[in-house]
Chain A
Amino acid sequence: MSDDYEIVIGLEVHVQLLTESKLFCGCSTRFGAEPNTQTCPTCTGMPGTLPVMTRRAFELGLRTALAIDCQISPFTKWDRKQYYYPDLPKGYQISQFDLPFSHDGGLDIRDPKGRFAPKRIGIIRAHLEEDAGKSMHDEQAGEADSRIDLNRTGTPLLEIVSQPDMRSPAEARAYLDELKLLLVYLGVSDCNMQEGSLRVDANINLHLTGENGEKIATPIVEIKNMNSFRAVERALEYEAIRQYQVWQETGQRLGDVPKQTRGWDDAANLTRGQRHKEESSDYRYFPDPDLVPVRVSPEQIEIVRRALGELPAALRARLIGAYGITEYDADVIVNQGRDVVSYYVELAEACSDGKMASNWVQQDVLRTLKEQTITIDAYPVRPAQLAELLGKIRGGEIDTTRAREVLAQMLTSGKGVAETMSALGIVRVDESELIELCQQLLASNPKVVAEVKAGKVQAAGALIGQAKKLNPNANPARVREICMELIAKS
């Protein structure tokens, strides 16, 4: 970006865990219900109610923490984070303060486009907490009441806090993409940002070198309200420039001013300062007496670790190593999720050409999935069938263009390769038949023959066009070869 400063970014990601019920009560976590219809005395904080933790939320948290290489605490407890807000009915959020269940992990990121070298982003901690409800404000009316919906209150969240290890918005984006991919692979979250299943807050400041060569850090700013990864990137880009301007104007360093929170305004493409009261940061954390600690044994950790399955980084490496595809291709396939990877692997194994399989998956299969907005399990052509088709190409029985026609037909008819080929009148043309065809062509095109002989090789293209008309099944490449040979001999 600029030689003048280094951007330092840390991210806090909140992920909604895929549980059926809320973290501390049996209310459903389903998105989109009528306001205040997914609540009960417990999640609305009625007097006398008590929380009992959903085992699955803890298990999903554990899965995730292990996948991002975190240390698992043998002993963890639950704390109350106290603040007043109408969407927080108990007046405190149950979270984890000084003994999170996991800490000190990391996530490797790299950029297939090569904008930055591969690196590891440290993870400070991942902890479980409950979500708050939703406050809706009528911006127009100003003085009108705010409306509170507690459906989301008590939904299990995993908060993943990174080290300030990212040095550009592109790295931040790569971290988020990789993290999201991992979470989806783990099956712990649907990561739907529109529904609030994944939320990102960013901490950013600049590191500069002073006139005397001393290291200078500018004040850290927390950015909120970013509702897409693209918005995170843009907000960070904007904020770096803004902070550099502020630095030039004020010379403020880290510690000179209290930490500021700014909200991203996507439409206006800028961040705005948010009001901050000094006392509001005194959360008076203390252990929640209503919940008991959790102890996790090394054996339990091993069981969860073994059940993680092959994760994106390992999958990419395997695809590159076993099937000889590029990092870029491996990235595209792995990004599609576990089912597409399985499809690819089956196809590559069956047709013994990883590169060809990769091309067909990317250019044909994925395009169809996108056009028809279906998932791979709804894709009508199974890997074995597609491999059979690719085998025909490799065997010279059919050219790529014809093969695409066959595939298109198979998608709608649901029939096999051979059946579809014969339905389309595609039959293997004998070599003798081809030679006969070529001889016929040369005889009726003396002008072309003369041109080719004179060295204008491209003139042969006209012959191939005619050959296709005479016999659609003729392999154009072979036609060209035979014609050239015959012309040379003549």
Chain B
Amino acid sequence: MSLTDLSASQILAELNARRFTAVEVTQAYVERIERHDPAIGALLRYDAETALATARGIDDRRQAGQPVGLLAGLPVSVKDLLCSQGDLATCGSRMLEHFRAPYDSTVVARLKRADAVLLGRTNLDEFAMGGSTENSALQKTRNPWDVTRAPGGSSGGSAACVAARLTPLSIGTDTGGSIRQPAGLCGITGMKPTYGRVSRYGLVAFASSLDQAGPMATSAADAALLLEAIAGHDPCDSTSIDAPVPSYSQTVTQPLAGLTLGLAREHFGPGLDSEVERAVREAIAVYESLGAKVKEISLPHSKYSVATYYIIAPSEASSNLARYDGVHYGHRTDERAMLAELAAERQKLEAARDTAGLNRLDSPLVRLYRRSRAEGFGAEVKRRIMLGAYALSSGYYDAYYLKALKVRRLIRQDFDSAFQSVDLIAGPVTAAPAFKLGENVNDPLAMYLLDLYTVGANLAGIPGISIPCGLSAAGLPIGLQLQAPPLEEDRLLRAAHMFQQATDWHMRRPNLP
């Protein structure tokens, strides 16, 4: 058994027992990246030299008996959506391909404070918009279980990275399922915490009222460790919750007695793949065998959650992405070509004596914006910006955006009343296992509908976790989703850990090419 077969918690124990060093650990993962990532494409960049230097520093401090952080010496990869001072933060976009963040996101700052070894940056759907990582403008990422399939997304790079054990831990972000869905499709453990549990400061915004960073790992115990390092109040984020952070890594091993699981009948309706349904029901049976009670519940408005989500998220996105205009940072179109284009258009309109057209013709500044943005953004990002700008525009606001905010409350109320009678809601993460690369790229609506089971937690702000619970006949991972009331991450992690003590799905690993 090699070092990289161990879980993060095991490695940490070994490091603390000084049976091996952070440099050895880092070196082992660097070698794995070198060997396997060319075929997977999980990481956009990695910096072995800096990582090894960090590891050396931690070893020195540990050797000298000085205090070290919670993650001291553990390699962590971070989705390329979180700012790290002096480093690129591409967001998977041409727009920010060369953008260097002048500051640390709070998550990255906390990882540094916890003495994590920041090893690399993972691929993602452009600005986290997508569910397959195929919307990355920079690179293709493949599912380690089957390289012809998508890893899911938008944190597909992080999921593939952990599934292939290129780093034991990774930070993803989840706006509509972007941690849980790729975790499910890649057979790892991924959690979206309560909205406000982890600071969004320095997380490049997609939809501010839904975005949340969270841990991706091989087990609930490891996810607990990583969450403990990054969670907590941040005065730089007005939406951050000021509540104490439990020692998740300590409590995760305590089983939950008298657990009641809720099964939403809406989660087992038409469209759910039979293999997925079987695996999820078997997982629930495992819980029953551990003493849990199961109760059927209803989330009556959940059928509206995708529609609600695809108004709110694009509306916020259209606003959040307005800042990418080629003036203060990011991609800017070639000005000379832009002016030549405008001159040619003007000439043509003048020749045709088209006064209306001439009046409508963009000014150089407006054309600078429009061309820079057209060149910098990919198709999905443009689509969502357009959708959001439309939903917020004069005359449509009430019918779309405001309406969606009201349905959002109903969705939240569904969860609130469900949690009156159950401790957790259990169900599938996705309707089917990983799909083929390219399968859904030409049908955006079909792609959006895949988010059915995950967007509810984002709209309601509640925590959710995805854990592996089976393999399809084709050998693809199947995920179980557990959802809990706000700030009950601890309950989620303990329940997930109970399952992982009783099963070994989380131990299964893909055969890497």
A residues with a Cβ closer than 8 A to B are: 41, 44-53, 80, 82, 84, 86, 89-92, 148, 150, 282, 284-286, 289-292
B322 touches A46 (CB 8 A): no
- Cα separation A290 to B240 with both chains bound (whole Å): 10
Let me know if B209 is at the binding interface, CB within 8 A.
yes
The 3 closest A-B pairs by CB, nearest first: A91-B322, A289-B209, A289-B208
Can you show 13 pairs from A to B with CB atoms below 8 A apart?
A47-B205, A48-B201, A48-B202, A49-B103, A52-B236, A84-B322, A90-B323, A91-B325, A92-B319, A92-B322, A148-B327, A284-B318, A285-B397
- Cα separation A291 to B236 with both chains bound (whole Å): 11
Interface of A is mostly: loop
In the complex with contacts A45-B328, A48-B105, A286-B238 CB distance below 8 A: no
Number of interface residues of B (CB under 8 A): 45
In the complex with contacts A48-B205, A286-B397, A53-B238 CB distance below 8 A: yes
A282 touches B200 (CB 8 A): no
- Cα separation A392 to B57 with both chains bound (whole Å): 84
A91 touches B319 (CB 8 A): yes
Selected contact of B83 from candidates A48, A84, A286, CB within 8 Å: A48
- Cα separation A49 to B203 with both chains bound (whole Å): 8
B359 and chain A: residue at smallest CB distance = A277
A84 touches B369 (CB 8 A): yes
Let me know if B204 is at the binding interface, CB within 8 A.
yes
Mask of B139-159 contacts with A, CB within 8 angstroms, 1/0: 000000000000000000000
B236 touches A50 (CB 8 A): yes
- Cα separation A50 to B392 with both chains bound (whole Å): 22
A291 touches B238 (CB 8 A): yes
Let me know if B511 is at the binding interface, CB within 8 A.
no
* Closest beta carbon of chain B to A265's beta carbon, Å: 22
- B328 CB contacts on chain A under 8 angstroms: 44-46, 89, 150
- Cα separation A263 to B309 with both chains bound (whole Å): 43
Mask of B364-394 contacts with A, CB within 8 angstroms, 1/0: 0110010000000000000000000100111
Given contacts A47-B101, A48-B201, A289-B208, 14 further A-B contacts (CB under 8 A): A41-B103, A46-B328, A48-B83, A50-B237, A50-B239, A84-B325, A84-B369, A89-B323, A90-B323, A91-B319, A284-B319, A286-B319, A289-B207, A289-B209
Within 8 A of A (CB), among B302-342: 315-316, 318-319, 321-325, 327-329
- Cα separation A286 to B207 with both chains bound (whole Å): 13
- Cα separation A80 to B401 with both chains bound (whole Å): 14
- Cα separation A68 to B248 with both chains bound (whole Å): 52
In the complex with contacts A282-B393, A286-B401, A47-B99 CB distance below 8 A: yes
- Cα separation A286 to B316 with both chains bound (whole Å): 9
B residues with a Cβ closer than 8 A to A are: 82-83, 89, 91, 96, 99, 101-103, 105, 200-205, 207-209, 235-239, 315-316, 318-319, 321-325, 327-329, 365-366, 369, 389, 392-394, 397, 401
- B105 CB contacts on chain A under 8 angstroms: 48
- B238 CB contacts on chain A under 8 angstroms: 50-53, 290-292
Selected contact of B239 from candidates A53, A82, A286, A292, CB within 8 Å: A292
A291 and chain B: residue at smallest CB distance = B238
B323 touches A286 (CB 8 A): no
A91 touches B323 (CB 8 A): yes
A286 touches B392 (CB 8 A): yes
In the complex with contacts A89-B328, A286-B392, A48-B101 CB distance below 8 A: yes
B322 touches A49 (CB 8 A): no
- Cα separation A291 to B209 with both chains bound (whole Å): 10
- A286 CB contacts on chain B under 8 angstroms: 315-316, 319, 392, 397, 401
A52 touches B235 (CB 8 A): yes
* Closest beta carbon of chain A to B241's beta carbon, Å: 11
* Closest beta carbon of chain A to B71's beta carbon, Å: 22
B395 and chain A: residue at smallest CB distance = A282
* Closest beta carbon of chain A to B470's beta carbon, Å: 37
A90 touches B201 (CB 8 A): no
* Closest beta carbon of chain A to B338's beta carbon, Å: 13
A48 touches B89 (CB 8 A): yes
* Closest beta carbon of chain B to A152's beta carbon, Å: 15
* Closest beta carbon of chain B to A357's beta carbon, Å: 52
- Cα separation A41 to B100 with both chains bound (whole Å): 12
- B394 CB contacts on chain A under 8 angstroms: 282, 284
- B99 CB contacts on chain A under 8 angstroms: 47
Selected contact of A48 from candidates B204, B207, B318, CB within 8 Å: B204
* Closest beta carbon of chain A to B111's beta carbon, Å: 15
A49 touches B202 (CB 8 A): yes
- B366 CB contacts on chain A under 8 angstroms: 84
- Cα separation A46 to B202 with both chains bound (whole Å): 9
A284 and chain B: residue at smallest CB distance = B392
- Cα separation A48 to B329 with both chains bound (whole Å): 13
- Cα separation A89 to B320 with both chains bound (whole Å): 11
- B208 CB contacts on chain A under 8 angstroms: 289-290
B316 touches A289 (CB 8 A): yes
- Cα separation A81 to B322 with both chains bound (whole Å): 11
- Cα separation A131 to B205 with both chains bound (whole Å): 22
B401 touches A46 (CB 8 A): no
- Cα separation A86 to B208 with both chains bound (whole Å): 23
- A292 CB contacts on chain B under 8 angstroms: 238-239
- Cα separation A63 to B259 with both chains bound (whole Å): 53
In the complex with contacts A80-B319, A286-B397, A289-B316, A48-B203 CB distance below 8 A: yes
* Closest beta carbon of chain A to B257's beta carbon, Å: 37
